[in-house]
Amino acid sequence: MELSGLVHALRAEGPRAGEQPPLRAVPPAEQILPRIGLLVSEGAAPEVVRDLGALVEAAGCRWLFGGLSPATLGELVAALNGYAAPPKQEQDAAGLPREDRAYAAAAERAAEAGSVFLHLLAKLEAAKTQESLGVPVVGPILSRVMGPIYIFAATHIVERPWTNTKSQSVAQEVLALLVQAVGCGSVAEFLRGKDEDEEGRFAAVMGLLKQELTKDTWKRNPATKHVFSWTLLHITRPWLSHYLERVLPPSLLISDDYQEENKILGVHCLHHIILNVPAADLCQFNRAQVVYHALYNHLYSREAPLIQAVLLCLLDLLPILERAQRQQNQGRPTTPCDEVLQLVLTHMEAEHRLALRRVYARALPAFVQRLGILIVRHLKRLERVILGYLEVCDGPEEEARLGILETLQCTIEHAWPRMPCRLPVLLKALLKMIWDVHTDQGPTPELVKAALLQGATKCLILLDRCSEGQVKVLLEGVYSSCEETRVRECIRKVQENT
C-alpha cells in the first residue's frame, strides 16, 4: 500500500464516538514504520516525509504506539534527524566549501521533519490519557526519541546558514512541545533535572553527541559544535560539575582549532565551565593548568575578538590557579597573573592596530586590580605602555585612552609609594593629553571628551595626594599662563582638592 493510500485508509477507519477504530484493513505500524524509516535514512524524496507527517497525524494512538517497540520508533526519529541535518562539510577539488543552496535545501528538509516531530509529540501527549496506553507505554517511547528530537531542535532553533525563518519556528515549537511532554518548565530543567538529585537528559544528549565530538569527526557536521555549546550554556552550577569529564575535552578540542570562529566558540565554552564548576573540581587532575596553557597560547593571536574572549576568561581562571598554588605551598616568585600581564604588556608596547589596542586597554585595569601592590613588578613596562597610549587618539569613542586612564588610576592607588619618582613624565603626558583633547577638532563626541578630561583630572589628583602636594605646586605656573577655559577648569579642580 502506498503511503497516501495508507493515510486515506487510516482516516476512513477513524474512531466513531465511544469506539476503537477497526484496523483490520490497515497494515500494523510495526510493519509500515520501519520501511518508512529505511526510506528516510536512504535519502527519501521530500514527498515521503510529508506523507509520513500526514500518516502520524491521521493515525490513532493505539495503532501508532500499541504494538510498536520504542527502539523502532527511536530508529525512525533518528532517521528523520539525519534527514534534516545540514550537509557534511566537504570541499571540492578547488578547496571551496559547499554552495549555499545545499544549506537552503537543508532548511526545507528541517521544516518537513519538524512537522513530523510536532505530530508525533502531540500523539504521545494524547496517548498518556488513554486507558490502553498511558504513561507505561508512552514513557519508554519518549525516553528513546527525546534525544534525537532535542538535537534536531538545537540544530535549527538559532539562525545559522542551514536555517530559515520557517525551520527556526518549527524547531522552537518542537522544543517547547518536547519540554512540555517530559513535564519540565524550561530547557535548562529538561537537561539538568528539576533538582540536583534528579538526573536530567544532558547525559543522554551528550551520549548522542559523543561520537560526533571526536578529533576526527567534530568538523564534519557544521552544527555539532553549535549544538554542544548551546546545550552547555543551559547547564549551570551546581549541575555542571557532574558532567565535567564530558564537556571539558570537547571545549578544549574546539578552542584548539585553527579557525578563529571555532577558537572563540571553544573559549566561550571554557569560560562557562570556569564560572560554573567549583574550583576544587577544576584543580583536580591538573585540569585548571591544562585550560590555562590552552588559553595562554591564544594570547599570541592577532585577532581582537579572540584576545578579548581569552582575557575575560583568564581573569576568572587566574584566582583559581593562584588559590591552588597557595594551598600547595608553592612559593613561586611570580604568579600566572604575572605571566599573562607580562606577555600582554609586551604585545601592547608594539601594537599599532587600534582594535587590539582597545581590547588590551579595556582589560588592563582588571589585571592591575588583581595584582594589587604586586603591580610594582611591572611598573617600568607599564609606564611605557601608559605613556604611549595616552599620546595616541584611537577614534571617536577613545576606548583605549579611557582604559589607560583607568589603568593609571588603579596603578597609582595600589603602587602610590613608587609614583613620586615618576611624577615628571606622568604629569607631562597627562597635560599633553588634556591639551590634545581640548584642541581636537575631530568627530569625538563631547561626552567622550568630558570623560577623558575627568579621567585625567582624577589621575592628577591622585598623583598630587601621593606626592604630598607637588602637583599643585607644579601646576601653579601653568594655571596662571593658560587662557583656555577647559584646561584651566581641570587644573582648578586639582588645586581645590584637599
3-state secondary structure of 198: coil
pLDDT tens profile 406-422 = 999 999 999 999 999 99
CA distance 52 to 46: 10
Give yes or no for a contact between 156 and 212, defined as CB atoms under 8 angstroms apart. Answer: no
Q: How many residues does the chain have?
A: 498
CA distance 117 to 56: 9
CA distance 223 to 229: 10
Residues 6+ apart with CB under 8 A from 221: 85, 86, 88, 89, 212
Nearest residue to 72 via CA among 112, 107, 11, 29: 29
**pLDDT of the chain along its 498 residues, tens only?**
456 655 655 555 554 444 444 444 567 777 788 888 888 887 767 788 888 888 888 888 888 887 778 898 999 999 999 999 998 875 443 344 455 788 889 999 999 999 999 999 999 998 888 867 888 888 899 999 999 999 999 999 999 999 999 999 999 999 999 999 998 999 999 999 887 767 889 999 999 999 899 998 899 999 999 999 999 999 999 999 999 999 999 999 999 999 999 999 999 999 999 999 999 999 999 999 999 999 999 999 999 999 999 999 999 999 999 888 887 766 567 789 999 999 999 999 999 999 999 999 999 999 999 999 999 999 999 999 999 999 998 888 999 999 999 999 999 999 999 999 999 999 999 999 998 998 888 888 999 999 999 999 999 999 999 988 898 888 887 777 777 778 888 888 988 887
Written as one letter, the residue type at 303 is E
Give yes or no for a contact between 223 and 258, defined as CB atoms under 8 angstroms apart. Answer: no
pLDDT tens profile 131-173 = 678 888 888 999 999 999 999 999 999 999 999 999 999 999 9
Give yes or no for a contact between 246 and 206, defined as CB atoms under 8 angstroms apart. Answer: yes
